[in-house]
A and B are shown apart, each in its own frame.
Chain A
Amino acid sequence: SYVLTQPPSVSVAPGKTARITCAENNIGSQTVHWYQQKPGQAPVLVIYYDSDRPSGIPERFSGSNSGSTATLTISGVEAGDEAEYFCQVWDNRGDHYVFGTGTTVTVL
Chain B
Amino acid sequence: EVQLVESGGGFVQPGGSLRLSCAASGFTFSKYWMHWVRQAPGKGLVWVSRTNSDGSTTSYADSVEGRFTMSRDNAKNTLYLEMNSLRAEDTAVYYCVRDPYDISGYYVFDHWGQGAPVTVAS
CB of B72 closer than 8 Å to a CB of A: no
Q: Which residues of A contact B107 (CB under 8 A)?
A: 31, 90, 97
Determine the main DSSP class of A at the interface with B: strand
Interface mask (A14-58 → B, CB under 8 Å = 1, otherwise 0)? 000000000000000001010101000111110011000010000
CB of B55 closer than 8 Å to a CB of A: no
Measured CB to CB, the closest approach of chain B to A13, in angstroms, equals 26
CB of B114 closer than 8 Å to a CB of A: yes
A42-B95, A42-B115 known; A97 vs B110 contact (CB < 8 Å): no
User: How many residues of B are counted as interface, with CB atoms below 8 angstroms from the partner's CB atoms?
Assistant: 19
**Do residues B112 and A48 form an inter-chain contact, with CB atoms below 8 A?**
no
Q: Which residues of A contact B47 (CB under 8 A)?
A: 96-99
Q: Which residues of A contact B111 (CB under 8 A)?
A: 45
**Which B-chain residue is minimally distant from A90 (CB atoms)?**
B107
**Do residues B44 and A48 form an inter-chain contact, with CB atoms below 8 A?**
no
**Which B-chain residue is minimally distant from A89 (CB atoms)?**
B107
Seen from chain B, the residues whose Cβ lies within 8 Å of a Cβ on chain A are: 35, 44-47, 50, 59, 61, 95, 106-115
A42-B95, A43-B45, A98-B47 known; A88 vs B115 contact (CB < 8 Å): no
Additional A-B contact list (7), CB under 8 Å, known A45-B108, A86-B45, A99-B44: A33-B106, A41-B114, A43-B109, A48-B110, A49-B106, A96-B47, A96-B59
Please measure, in the bound complex, the distance between the C-alpha atom of A31 and the C-alpha atom of B18, giving whole angstroms.
34
| A49, A86, A96, most chain B CB atoms within 10 A | A96
**Do residues A102 and B115 form an inter-chain contact, with CB atoms below 8 A?**
no
| B35, B61, B108, B112, most chain A CB atoms within 10 A | B108
**Which B-chain residue is minimally distant from A92 (CB atoms)?**
B107
**Which A-chain residue is minimally distant from B50 (CB atoms)?**
A97
**Which A-chain residue is minimally distant from B60 (CB atoms)?**
A96
CB of A59 closer than 8 Å to a CB of B: no
- 8 contacting pairs across A/B (C-beta < 8 A): A33-B106, A33-B109, A43-B45, A43-B112, A44-B112, A48-B108, A86-B45, A96-B47
